[in-house]
Structure 1
Amino acid sequence: MLDASTSKPNDLETIARSGGAFRRMAARIPTYLTDLRENPAWLPMFLLARTMPFRKAHWLTARPVRSSASAAPSMFGDLRAEAVAAELRRTGIATGLTLPAPIQTEIARFGQETPCFGNFDRKLEFLAGEHADAERRFGRTILSGHHFERVLHCDAALAVQRDPLLLDVARHYLGGEAKLITTRTWWSFPTKSASEADLSRASFKFHFDLDDWRMLKFFFYLSDVDADAGPHVYVRGSHNRRRMKHQLTLLVGHPAEEVLGFYGEDSALTLTGKAGTGFVEDPFGFHMGTLAKQSPRLMMEVGFGVSKPSERRYHGEPVIR
């Protein structure tokens, strides 16, 4: 069962205050330029989708959809897409999704048996169970391990990706043009050697995603996630209201005290739960992954958007100079 509690992640305040934001933006310039060459429409989205007037104008173009009463059977039971979409519109996040045990077990086995790539770097390849050895072997702190396109060889992951409820929810929330953008699985690892610079490059501060004008992401815990295993945190209501300061900056990451000071400390939802626990959110709302302190976390994401997905690289993979 999902435990969604309100909390202010005080132990991440130092991380949230850390500098280097503009250095991180500079490091992403090759990725941004490649995105622009591939899709010139990316630039106006990147610049304008962070502002509420342009964002609301784009939402007005969403194609309406009909009732999903005749939708195909789903592995998630009798959840109604309209009800999930209504909760998303209200708070930006909806809980109550649970993977069937055989599906969760198969994807978790895939995560254990399939080599991942550390810190988005394909040169850092290792099995999750060999994380400590990998840090010694590569001489680097490794906070994450992504499977990239290898997840597409996992039949159970594909079954989740294709489940009719997910697309039905996406269409009721994003509009009839909603389409699958990405499916990914990744590990978050506890480590004793992380520096402030390592942590500042990760997603351990409140941020919002700007991959598309309108997006929706389903998340599933594939391992048990408690307070020490890197639970996800979402700021309810921040998907449809935005401080002017947060609209006019090119930075998407902001200190916890700044975000919670505006949206309210009680708006922060910390999501813990057993393996198989799932939820769906509008990633334009402020969210973050917390640091795994004791146990590694295996997670799956299925993302939907309204624009053509990139065919150049797998989700989240940067272009290196």
Structure 2
Amino acid sequence: MNLQTSDKSGGASLEAIARNGSLLRRIAVRIPTYLTDLRENPAWLPMFVLARTMPGRRMHWLAARRARPVDNARDTMFTGVEREAVVGALRSDGLFSGLVLPSDIHRQIADFARRTPCFGNFDRRLEFMPDEHGQAEKRLGRSLLSGHYFERILDCPAALSVQRDPLLLDVAAHYLGGQAKLITTRVWWSFPTGKATDADKNLASLGKYHFDLDDWRMLKFFFYLVPVDAGTGPHVYVRGSHNRRAIKHQLTLLVGHPAEEVLDVYGQQSPVTLIGEAGLGFVEDPFGFHMGTVPARTPRLMMEVGFGVSRPSRRRFHGEPVIR
């Protein structure tokens, strides 16, 4: 009996040491990005400290300005979608699914992505064609879990038409306030690979629930550019988690947490797994817990158009962190 207790205590201690070591490594990896954010914009620091807390966020929401009508709101490519319904779902659930890209639009973006080199794991030195992913892993001697296009996607007219669609700004302004502005436009691949480490997955925001903390108030529109099923790494959102937050999830420096810890707080029935055909779109408040699951069989190609209320970072516009 005593031996069993001692063993368990020792095991728990070893587990705690490993967990703390992992925590320190994850914080250390982010330090260059944090310092660059602070240098670019000193107002980043109070946001980074306070926007993770519910009182801090609620105070900032009080500064939301009344949204002005968007003159060309009806000139949208998204038929049958009413702004009021989208904003209402965002306020209650943090998520609205029901946007559909026209087929010619998502095909043009996907075609552009297939014929354009991408950058692996957010690193501009790891450049490869997406259909040569396996060969690239062998050539570079490392796993490539993601492939981003950064500013190259701005050379795709179809992607720009999504970025500029008036419905997106109309929804963002009525949810975030009149200060809402475009801050991110991204297209990227998530690849199945048997070699990915936990660090690779953390960098790619895959396999672990997390919340985004790039601004006081944010909204992100996502679009699948290929069909996504359970084997393609579907996106998962924890419904309602944008409106409440456990104290331990407000006081930690990390935004990522294990699934069992998140679901114990927000409910086993709260996750929504989004699967569908190419063109499926959804919008979420990314302060709610969410994650992209790791593709098991086929690559996922996805587009994001994000809105915030602060001056956008030059890097965040392309989704690029600082990595050394």
Question: TM-score by structure 1 length?
Answer: 0.92
Name the counterpart of 2:5. none
From the superposition, tell whether residues 248 and 75 of structure 1 become closer, same or farther in structure 2 (CA, over 3 Å): same
The answer on 1:274 being equivalent to 2:277 is yes
Given that 1:215 and 1:305 are in contact with CA atoms closer than 8 Å, whether structure 2 keeps it comes out as yes
Give the AA of the match of 1:145.
Answer: G
Moved more, 225-234 or 185-194: 185-194
| 1:149-202 C-alpha deviation (Å, 9 max, x unpaired) | 000000000000000000000001000110011111000000122234433443
CA distance, structure 1, for counterparts of residue 71 and residue 36 of structure 2:
42
From the superposition, tell whether residues 162 and 122 of structure 1 become closer, same or farther in structure 2 (CA, over 3 Å): same
Moved more, 20-29 or 206-215: 20-29
Name the counterpart of 2:297. 294
The answer on 1:86 being equivalent to 2:81 is no
CA distance, structure 2, for counterparts of residue 216 and residue 19 of structure 1:
33
The answer on 1:32 being equivalent to 2:34 is yes
CA distance, structure 1, for counterparts of residue 187 and residue 39 of structure 2:
28
Given that 2:233 and 2:295 are in contact with CA atoms closer than 8 Å, whether structure 1 keeps it comes out as yes
Q: Among 242, 260, 267, which residue is 2:245 paired with?
A: 242
From the superposition, tell whether residues 66 and 316 of structure 1 become closer, same or farther in structure 2 (CA, over 3 Å): closer
Name the counterpart of 1:195. 197
Given that 1:230 and 1:292 are in contact with CA atoms closer than 8 Å, whether structure 2 keeps it comes out as yes
Given that 1:120 and 1:318 are in contact with CA atoms closer than 8 Å, whether structure 2 keeps it comes out as yes
Unaligned runs of 5+ in 2: 1-18
Given that 1:18 and 1:196 are in contact with CA atoms closer than 8 Å, whether structure 2 keeps it comes out as no
Name the counterpart of 1:151. 153
User: Percent identity of the aligned residues?
Assistant: 70
Given that 2:69 and 2:170 are in contact with CA atoms closer than 8 Å, whether structure 1 keeps it comes out as no
CA distance, structure 2, for counterparts of residue 187 and residue 25 of structure 1:
25
Question: TM-score by structure 2 length?
Answer: 0.91
Unaligned runs of 5+ in 1: 1-16
Name the counterpart of 1:9. none
From the superposition, tell whether residues 35 and 196 of structure 1 become closer, same or farther in structure 2 (CA, over 3 Å): closer
CA distance, structure 1, for counterparts of residue 83 and residue 257 of structure 2:
32
Q: Among 289, 292, 307, which residue is 1:304 paired with?
A: 307
Q: Which has the larger radius of gyration?
A: 2
Name the counterpart of 1:95. 97
What SS class does the counterpart of residue 169 from structure 1 fall into? helix
Q: Relative contact order, CA 8 A, sep 6+: which one is greater? A: 1
CA distance, structure 2, for counterparts of residue 83 and residue 69 of structure 1:
19
Deviation at 1:271, TM superposition (A): 0.4
Give the AA of the match of 1:191.
Answer: T
| 1:69-109 C-alpha deviation (Å, 9 max, x unpaired) | 97232100131112211110000000100000000100000
Name the counterpart of 2:183. 181
How many residues align? The count is 305
Given that 1:65 and 1:172 are in contact with CA atoms closer than 8 Å, whether structure 2 keeps it comes out as yes
Given that 1:215 and 1:282 are in contact with CA atoms closer than 8 Å, whether structure 2 keeps it comes out as yes
From the superposition, tell whether residues 184 and 273 of structure 1 become closer, same or farther in structure 2 (CA, over 3 Å): same
Give me the CA root mean square deviation: 1.6
CA distance, structure 2, for counterparts of residue 201 and residue 70 of structure 1:
38
Name the counterpart of 2:215. 212
Given that 1:24 and 1:201 are in contact with CA atoms closer than 8 Å, whether structure 2 keeps it comes out as no
